Chains A and B, each alone.
Chain A
Amino acid sequence: MATVAAVIASTHHPFYYRASTSAGPDRPPFADEWVAKIEAFRQTLTRAEPDVLVMVGSDHFHQLWLDNMPQFLVGKAPFFDANWYNEEREFGLPRMRLAGDEDLAAYLLREGLDAGFDLAFSNELRIDHSVTCPIITLRPQADLPIVPVYTNIFAPPMPRPSRFVELGRALRRMVEAWPSDKRVAIIGTGHLSLELGGPRQFGPHGPDPEFDRKAVAWIANGDVDGCLGEVTLDSLHAPGNATHGFMDFMLMMGAAGDGVKADYTDSLDLFHTMEAYFTWYPEGAPS
């Protein structure tokens, strides 16, 4: 059976690429610290020696639109082109192409459907920065095949937080049962408190530092019950109008396991939003 080499949860900050590659007067003052934290985080994936990456993220109204909106979708294709004109325009993100692992995608679709998750699928999916940001930060050589798993954290009505946790648990079980000798890293990205297009956006910190502090503790401690006890679809409006992206972190808490503390935790307070990075090693930390 396959091995879950690592479970990784991260924010996906679209400005990292530009901040980390800029020089001279264009380089923001926080770039060096940010790059150092990302390079340390990257080592946590490198040390796990993965063969394939399951990438949990969310399409930001790029290919998925309100005339045909899936709640959860698995990409099954030999390749995934990546990043979109408006991401190039606003964030300076490069065009990319990633290989897909169709065997694992087919397995997750079959087993997921049989486990009660009516997963949609796509055989031609252009992925966006929710998947490419963690490739840029964690695996910039982009040399491993991926299976993208998209969630709807963007367009109500959305599944409830508990459903995200359940899908994370199911993904973990399915990967562990995949008849393969490959080492799989399950990587997912979301947000802490975040406001986009509202009065609290682009402040000196994230819109709700108190929520961020609690959220980092829930994730770092694997406190699924504590998190589910406080977080609802309604409550997520309070910390910032785009905070439903936190449900992808909750999915990753499900994948990491109830009560399982992260082996690696880091964060970085930036303007507009807080960055947070977590890694779990189900087999024990590699030497």
Chain B
Amino acid sequence: MSKYLLDKFLYTVDRDPDLVERYRSDPAGTVEWWEGEIANSILNCHGAERSTWLAFSEEERRALRSHDHVALFGMGAHPFLTLTLFIAMFERDHGPLEYQIAYARAMEHITLPYPDIAT
């Protein structure tokens, strides 16, 4: 399991307006494309200088494909990244603060200590 790679997915999608829309409308296709094209790119390097070892587990692919923020939290994905991206994708479908409150309510069974987010 790679918390770093989950975070890298959330980070690179959240900062790109086109990718935010693509992930909202086609999560499975976006996750497959991203893992093939972006997962091993080193963000500040020329495209030819790629890593060779980064891949999702099937559990991680499933959580990302199903927009499952509760599962991502349980895996130790950085909660700020998940929240920011999911607000960008889904707040528009709800009234003021409705989405943020429902997001919290879906996690109310979770108690301290929360999953470790260290990468």
Contacts and interface: CB of A to CB of B under 8 A. Distances in A.
Nearest to A89: B88
Where chain A touches its partner, the secondary structure class is: loop
Given A156-B117, A237-B114, A241-B114, A196 B8 contact: no
Given A156-B118, A237-B114, A197 B82 contact: yes
Interface string A192-234: 0000111111110000000000000000000000000000000
Contacts of B73: 197-198
A237 B113 contact: yes
Where chain B touches its partner, the secondary structure class is: helix
Contacts, number: 80
Contact of B100 (A67, A202, A237): A202
Interface stretch (A58-66, A167-175, A252-260): A58-66
A84 B113 contact: no
B44 A84 contact: no
A242 interface: yes
B79 A155 contact: no
A286 interface: no
Interface in B4-49: 4, 7-8, 11, 14-15, 17, 42-44
A201 B80 contact: no
Interface in A30-84: 60-62, 65-68, 84
B79 A90 contact: no
Given A89-B88, A241-B79, A66 B103 contact: no
A197 B100 CA distance: 9
Contacts of A271: 97
A242 B79 CA distance: 9
Contacts of B14: 86
Contacts of A201: 83, 100, 103-104
A18 to B, nearest CB: 11
Contacts of B15: 62, 84-86
Given A156-B117, A196-B83, A202 B88 contact: no
Nearest to B7: A66
A198 B79 contact: yes
A198 B80 contact: no
B57 interface: no
Nearest to B81: A61
A202 B101 contact: yes
A154 interface: yes
Given A66-B119, A198-B104, A237 B80 contact: no
A66 B44 CA distance: 12
A65 B43 contact: yes
A238 interface: yes
A55 B110 CA distance: 36
Interface of A: 60-62, 65-68, 84-86, 89-90, 154-157, 196-203, 237-238, 241-242, 271
9 contacts: A66-B7, A85-B15, A89-B17, A199-B105, A199-B108, A199-B109, A242-B79, A242-B80, A271-B97
